[in-house]
Amino acid sequence: MSFLYNILPESFEERLETEHLVLRPYQEGDENDFMRLIQENASVLDPAFGGRLARVHALEDARVQVKQLRTAWDNRRYFDFGVWEKESGLYIGNIALKNLDHKIPKAEMGLYFSAWPESRDAVQEAIQQTLQFAFEIVGLNKVYIRCTSTNNFYGEIAQECGFILEGVLRSDFRGTDSTELLDLTYFGMTRSDFEQKQKKVAEQCKTALV
């Protein structure tokens, strides 16, 4: 049993909604969307999501992966959200809280989206909603993002969402089936950062209403 059962409420809303998006756990029937997005964005997903690319070559692979992600969610091992546009119902990305560390507790946020940079606003919206889930529901004290040079644009948008650049670990990552060592740039947000950001937003909204 995962440690998260000790800090999570007995029940909570798994489906998250923003103005334009629906974020929810994967379920049976999502495998077509899941595989399509991976295949259409293979060059962007490698090397950060090389493992997922390597596991999904056919529809049955995608079906197995979707089932495993649902099981991991139920066991509170990690939280993978599929992201759909609310108006069109189009599946556009994945955002997850993974590598959970119960000592802090903290988690890594991993994400990939289609149609960059057109999806920039959706990415930002999904990050903000997942941060609320991480700090207000899961009860984390820190969320961090790791980026290679090929996906550092996610780090840049994370900073716009309030993440702080924490540094670069040199030769700290090797992709699937690769001999090349890559640098990783770390971006982090603490609970204090999140609460200060929420307070600032609330004050701005209050001022706007006056």
Q: Quick check: 36 pLDDT over 80?
A: yes
Starting at the earlier edge strand, list the strands of the sheet with 106-113.
Answer: 16-17, 21-25, 79-85, 91-101, 106-113, 142-147, 181-190, 164-174
Percent of the chain with pLDDT over 70: 93
Largest CA distance in the chain: 59
**Mean pLDDT score of the chain, rounded to an integer?**
91
User: Whose structure tokens read 């690769």?
Assistant: 178
DSSP 68-114: HHHHHHHTTS-EEEEEEETTT--EEEEEEEEEEETTTTEEEEEEEES
d(CA 11, CA 27): 18
List the domain boundaries for the chain: 13-209
Hey, which CATH number is domain 13-209, 3.40.630.30, 2.60.120.260, 3.40.50.300, 3.50.30.60?
3.40.630.30
pLDDT computed for residue 176 by the predictor: 78
Q: What's the alpha-carbon Rg for the chain, to the nearest Å?
A: 17
- Check whether 91 has a pLDDT greater than 90: yes
Phi and psi of 49, rounded to 5°?
-115, 35
The answer on pLDDT for 169 being more than 80 is yes
Contact 157, 121 (CB under 8 A): no
Kind of pairing between the strands at 79-85 and 21-25: antiparallel
pLDDT in tens, 111-151: 999 988 889 999 999 999 999 999 999 999 999 999 998 88
